[in-house]
Amino acid sequence: MQVKINIDGGSRGNPGLGAAAYVICGLDGKILAQEGYFMPHCTNNQAEYTALKLALIKSAELGAKELFIESDSQLLVKQYLGEYKIKHPDLAARMQVIRRLAAPFTIHIKHVLRNFNKAPDALANKAMDAKQSLGFNPIKHLPDDDEIAAARAQNNNTVNGITVTPVKRESAPVKKTFKQGPKQPDLFGGF
């Protein structure tokens, strides 16, 4: 089965309150599933990546084989296609999960302007306004983000190809305080 997918993600505050959304349609335009997934704290890019991840999970549930994906995030599209490097470790870990989820599909992904991606944008905003996930035919079982944490841990100690270790700092030196000398007599006491 072939499906058309529009995805979007947003964050109010970046980072802050956010949501990821997908709308999956048959090639005839009939909506098969749509969901706005509420994210209490995320960046805009994390929300965009989550939208793609959720769309892939739902596409597998629907039994789709070929996906025509549109996103208004040029960064996400270019990073997925390998045209841009993924420098942030969290996004690299998320992309690892996305690539695993994408493996069974034939994927066509492209960047579109925002005015051609209004449906998932509206759904993400509704989820942020409601502060909860909402949708039609949502994902039945959403895997834990433990897989992202595990993928992140694999590369967590490598920066610029060099293994780094946590810096152990010495505690700050204790500042010496001066003791007060004997109490000075009150010059006017008793008079």
Domain containing residue 6: CATH number: 3.30.420.10
Query: How far is Cα of residue 65 from the mean position of the Cα atoms in its chain?
Result: 25
Distance, CA of 90 to CA of 142 (rounded, Å): 19
Side chain identity at residue 11, one-letter code: S
Among 47, 72, 31, residue whose Cα is nearest residue 128: 47
How high is the mean pLDDT of the chain? Answer: 85
Residue 37 belongs to some domain of the structure: yes
Alpha carbon distances (Å) from 127 to 3, 20, 45, 113:
23, 8, 17, 22
Residue 55 belongs to some domain of the structure: yes
Helix, strand, coil percentages in the chain from 3-state DSSP, rounded to 5: 35, 30, 40
Residue 185 belongs to some domain of the structure: no
Sign of CA dihedral 142, 45, 112, 8: positive
Distance, CA of 42 to CA of 145 (rounded, Å): 13
Burial of 164 (0-12, 13-18, 19+ CB in 10 A): exposed
How confident is the model at residue 162, as a pLDDT? 54
Distance, CA of 8 to CA of 41 (rounded, Å): 16
Q: Is the pLDDT of residue 63 over 80?
A: yes
Tell me the three state secondary structure of residue 95.
Answer: helix
Domain carrying residue 68: 2-163
How confident is the model at residue 143, as a pLDDT? 73
The predicted-structure confidence for 127-160, as pLDDT tens digits, reads as follows 999 999 999 998 888 876 655 555 555 545 555 5
Specify the number of domains making up the chain.
Answer: 1
Side chain identity at residue 14, one-letter code: N
Phi, psi of 63 (to 5 degrees): 85, 20
Distance, CA of 17 to CA of 39 (rounded, Å): 6
Whole-model pTM: value is 0.77
How confident is the model at residue 69, as a pLDDT? 98
Alpha carbon distances (Å) from 22 to 104, 111, 119:
19, 15, 8
The predicted-structure confidence for 76-111, as pLDDT tens digits, reads as follows 999 999 999 999 999 999 999 999 999 999 999 999
Residue 152 belongs to some domain of the structure: yes
